[in-house]
């Protein structure tokens, strides 16, 4: 039995609440790649009938988070090299644009807000709460995104963030990556403060590339030893 629970939202239909609960459990790694999704067990844990569980699984399949396997049923989709490359190619392109706009439009007080977000991220890294670390990493990048003042771009980045969550967690699980992340964030802040578009963009794209390479190594390790673990 897993530890995740359903958070009831009075404004959403039950089927949507179940869907978002299972989706977050997969993205956070509480439901592991390759794990079977047993309708009866999940229904019992969340205190619902099997119908919203079945509907949620169908929607998760459409998002690519769940696979339907003949004679096995639904399983959590594994993190694949192709999925990782696809997501990070899109992210790199959007980061280029957001970095360019941030260099042009970021207010001076926002630079200070970015430094504060960096301190919060560093504080989270001193603990062992991976979810908190991921949240603080997201908040750091959110400051940059908001400074673009481009609502469509922010919306696209927010949608992509959900798909990135699995990869972000896998990267943060490797403690040896933490110092590199801190250094890259610091370099981004300093380049942004100088409004150096080319340098900031290069650092940001390298930041994305380093994440891709680190998670790729974990995928290759998993292929020889088994699925990525929590």
Provide the token pair at 107.
Answer: 């207010």
Same domain, residue pair 89 and 19 = no
Q: Which residues have a Cβ under 8 Å from the Cβ of 92 and sit 6 or more positions away?
A: 205, 208, 209
2 occurs within a structural domain:
no
Domain that includes residue 26, residue range: 14-76
85 occurs within a structural domain:
yes
Same domain, residue pair 141 and 156 = yes
Same domain, residue pair 114 and 204 = yes
Spell out a b/e string for 30-67, using b for 16 or more CB atoms within 10 Å of the CB, else e: bbbbeeebebeebbebbebeeebbbbbbebbeeeebbb
Contact predicate 95/144, CB 8 Å? no
The residue out of 61, 76, 91 marking a domain boundary is: 76
207 occurs within a structural domain:
yes
The residue out of 50, 76, 102 marking a domain boundary is: 76
Spell out a b/e string for 140-162, using b for 16 or more CB atoms within 10 Å of the CB, else e: bbbbbbbbbebeeebebbeebbe
Query: Is pLDDT above 60 for 201?
Result: yes
1 occurs within a structural domain:
no
Same domain, residue pair 19 and 88 = no
The residue out of 37, 52, 76 marking a domain boundary is: 76
Q: Which residues have a Cβ under 8 Å from the Cβ of 217 and sit 6 or more positions away?
A: none
- Looking at the structure of the chain, the number of domains it has is 2
Confidence at residue 230, expressed as pLDDT on a 0 to 100 scale: 43
pTM of the complete model: 0.78
CATH number (domain holding residue 108): 1.20.120.530
Same domain, residue pair 20 and 71 = yes
Same domain, residue pair 156 and 214 = yes
Mean pLDDT across the chain: 90
Q: Which residues have a Cβ under 8 Å from the Cβ of 89 and sit 6 or more positions away?
A: none
d(Cα 107, Cα 113) in Å, to the nearest integer? 10
d(Cα 116, Cα 114) in Å, to the nearest integer? 5
7 occurs within a structural domain:
no
Q: What is the pLDDT of residues 19-28, one digit of tens each?
A: 989 988 887 7
Upper half-sphere CA count for residue 165 (Cβ side, 13 Å): 20
Same domain, residue pair 119 and 220 = yes
Q: Collapsing DSSP states into helix, strand and coil, what is residue 74?
A: strand
Same domain, residue pair 86 and 64 = no
8 occurs within a structural domain:
no
Same domain, residue pair 205 and 157 = yes
Same domain, residue pair 200 and 107 = yes
Same domain, residue pair 104 and 217 = yes
Q: What is the pLDDT of residues 71-111, one digit of tens each?
A: 889 999 988 888 888 988 999 999 999 999 999 999 999 99
Confidence at residue 117, expressed as pLDDT on a 0 to 100 scale: 98
Same domain, residue pair 59 and 110 = no
């Amino acid at each position: 039995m897993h530890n995740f629970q359903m958070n009831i939202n009075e404004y959403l239909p039950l089927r949507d609440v179940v869907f978002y609960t299972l989706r977050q459990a997969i993205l956070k790694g509480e439901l592991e790649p390759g794990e079977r999704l047993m309708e009866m067990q999940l229904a019992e844990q969340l205190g619902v009938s099997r119908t919203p569980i079945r509907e949620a699984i169908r929607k998760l399949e459409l998002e690519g988070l769940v696979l339907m396997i003949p004679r096995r049923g639904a399983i959590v989709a594994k993190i694949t090299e192709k999925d990782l490359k696809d997501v990070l190619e899109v992210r790199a392109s959007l980061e280029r644009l957001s970095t360019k706009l941030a260099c042009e439009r970021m207010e001076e007080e926002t630079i200070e807000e970015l430094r504060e977000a960096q301190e919060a991220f560093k504080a989270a890294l001193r603990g062992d709460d991976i979810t908190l670390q991921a949240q603080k990493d997201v908040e750091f990048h959110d400051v940059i995104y908001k400074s673009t003042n481009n609502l469509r771009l922010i919306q696209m980045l927010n949608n992509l963030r959900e798909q990135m969550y699995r990869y972000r967690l896998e990267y943060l699980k490797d403690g040896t990556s933490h110092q590199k992340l801190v250094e890259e964030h610091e370099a981004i802040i300093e380049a942004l403060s100088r409004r150096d578009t080319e340098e900031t963009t290069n650092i940001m794209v390298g930041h994305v590339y380093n994440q891709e390479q680190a998670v790729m190594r974990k995928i290759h390790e998993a292929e020889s030893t088994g699925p990525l673990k929590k």
